Amino acid sequence: MSPTHPDPQPDPEVRAHLDALRAIPPRDPAVAAQARQAFLEQARQLAVSARPERRLNRWKAFWIGLLYPKKEVSPMFSALTTILLVVSLLLGGSGVTVAAAQASLPDDLLYPVKTWSEDLRSEITRDPQARLNLSLELAERRTAEITQMVARDEVPPEPVLLRLQTHLQTALQLAVAQSDAQAVRALERIRQRLEIQYQRLLQQGSVTNPTAQAALVRTRAMIQTHLQAVQEGLQDPQILRQRLRQGMPETVPPQNHQPGGNPWTQDTPTPGSGYGSGQGGNPWTQDTPTPGSGYGSGQGGNPWTQDTPTPGSGYGPGPGPEATCTPGSGPMMPTFQPPRQGNGPARP
C-alpha cells in the first residue's frame, strides 16, 4: 500500500455482495484432469526441439508472419491493394479491367466496374470546376449509353436514367454554388453541352420496341427539363438556386410517357384486367366520363382546369391528345406531353 494514497475499501453492503461471490461450486475433477492433460500435451508439441537452430525464435516468427500472414494481417493487405488500385487509377486508369470496362454498356458484365470507377473518380475529385466537368462528362456517357441501347431496341435499365439525372443535378448545383458571374459562365457551358446531347437524342431513328422508345422519350424530357432550368439560371442564377433548394422537378414518370400502348408488355390483354398493350381503353371504368373529372376513357385534355392558361405558365386545359410539344413553353417542366391514347396500367 502506498503511504501517500489511502486504500479505498468497500462499505459493508458492497462487501457483503463481494463476499457472496467468493464461494463457487467445486470444479469437476474429471474435466479439470482432462484440461490439464490437454495443456501438457500441447506443451509437449510446442516444446523446443533438441537442435537449437531449428527452434522458433523472434526472427523466424517475424519472417514466417511476413510470408504466411495470418488473418489479422489481411485488412492491411486489403487496404494496400485498394491504395495500389487507386494509385493506378490516378495514374491514368491503367488497370486493364477498368480500361476495358469503360466501353461497356449497362447490360455488360463489366458495366459495374465502369460505374465503380466513375464513383471513385467522383469521390476523389475535390475541385468544384473539375467536379462540374466530370458530372457533365458522365452525363454525356449516360446519354450515349442510352442512345446506343435504344438503337439496338434494348431498354436502358432504370438505374442508368437515375444516374443521368443525378449527374445533371450535380452539375447544376455545382454551377450555382459559385458567384453569379461564375455561375452564368458555368451554366452557359452546361447549356451548350446539354443542347448537343439533346440534338443527338432527337437524331435517334425510329425504335420498334415501345419500352425502349419510352426510355428515349423520357431521357429527352430529362435533358430538356434541365435545359430549361439552365435557361432560367442564365437569366437569374438566384431563381435557379431557389428551385434547386426546393428540389428539381422530377421528370415525368415512365408510365405517363407512353406514346401509346403499354411498354411493359406486348401480350394480348385479359379483358378488363388493365394489363396489356394498352389499346383496351380504361380498365377502371367504362362509363362516360364526367367532364372535368379526369376519369373515364382518357380522351380529355387537362382535367384539372378548363380555364384559359396564363401564357407561358404551362397550365391550362391543354391542347388535347393530338397536341405537339413546344420547347420552352413552360418553366421547369418537360414540354413533352404524351398523347393519351392507351391507358393500360396507368393510373386513371
Partner 1 sequence: MNAPNEQEWLQAAQRFDPEALAAIYDYYSPRLYAYAMRLLGNRDLAEECVAETFARFLHALHVGHGPRQQLQAYLYRTAHNWITDRYRRQPPPSLNTDDIDLSTGTPNPETSLETAWMRQHLRRALWQLTPDQRQVILLRFVEDLDNETVAAVLQKPVGAVKALQHRALVALRRILEREVENVPNPS
| Sole binder of partner 1 in the list 12, 30, 47, 198 (CB under 8 A) | 47
Residue keyed to cell 443527338: 200
Closest distance to partner 1 from the beta carbon of 82 (Å)? 25
Count of residues engaged in binding partner 1, rule: CB under 8 A: 42
CB 151 within 8 A of CB 205: yes
In the complex, least distance from residue 23 CB atom to partner 1, rounded to whole angstroms: 6
Q: For residue 206, state whether it binds partner 1 (rule: CB under 8 A).
A: no
Among 12, 13, 126, 308, binds partner 1 (CB under 8 A): 13
For position 73 contacting partner 1 by CB under 8 A, the verdict is no
Q: Which stretch binds partner 1 (CB under 8 A): 7-15, 152-160, 200-208, 298-306?
A: 7-15
Query: Nearest distance from residue 331's CB to partner 1, in Å?
Result: 55
Rule CB under 8 A: is residue 151 a binding residue for partner 1?
A: no
Q: What is the dihedral of CA 171, 172, 173, 178, to 10 degrees?
A: 100
Q: Which stretch binds partner 1 (CB under 8 A): 43-51, 79-87, 235-243, 271-279?
A: 43-51
Cell of 93: 486508369
Could you please report the per-residue DSSP string of 273-285? Answer: TS-SSS-S--TT-
> Does 63 help bind partner 1 (rule: CB under 8 A)?
no
**Residue 281: how many CB atoms within 10 A of its CB?**
17
The number of beta carbons lying within 10 Å of the beta carbon of residue 141 is 18
Query: Whose grid coordinates read 494481417?
Result: 73
Give 59 or 271: the residue with its C-beta nearer to partner 1.
Answer: 59
**Which of 158, 166, 117 minimizes the C-alpha distance to 139?**
166
The least CB distance from residue 7 to partner 1, in Å, is 6
The answer to whether residue 4 forms part of the interface with partner 1 (CB under 8 A) is yes
> Judged by CB under 8 A, does residue 66 bind partner 1?
no
Of the candidates 149, 275, 165, the residue with the CA atom closest to the CA atom of residue 212: 149
Residue 136, C-beta contacts closer than 8 angstroms, at least 6 positions apart: 167, 171, 189, 190, 193
Q: Is 162 in the site for partner 1 (CB under 8 A)?
A: no
In whole angstroms, what is the distance from residue 51 CA to residue 38 CA?
25
Residue type, position 271, single letter: P
- Tell me: does residue 43 bind partner 1 (CB under 8 A): yes
Judged by the rule CB under 8 A, the positions of this chain that interact with partner 1 are: 1-2, 4-11, 13-18, 20-28, 31-32, 35-36, 38-40, 42-44, 46-48, 56-58, 61
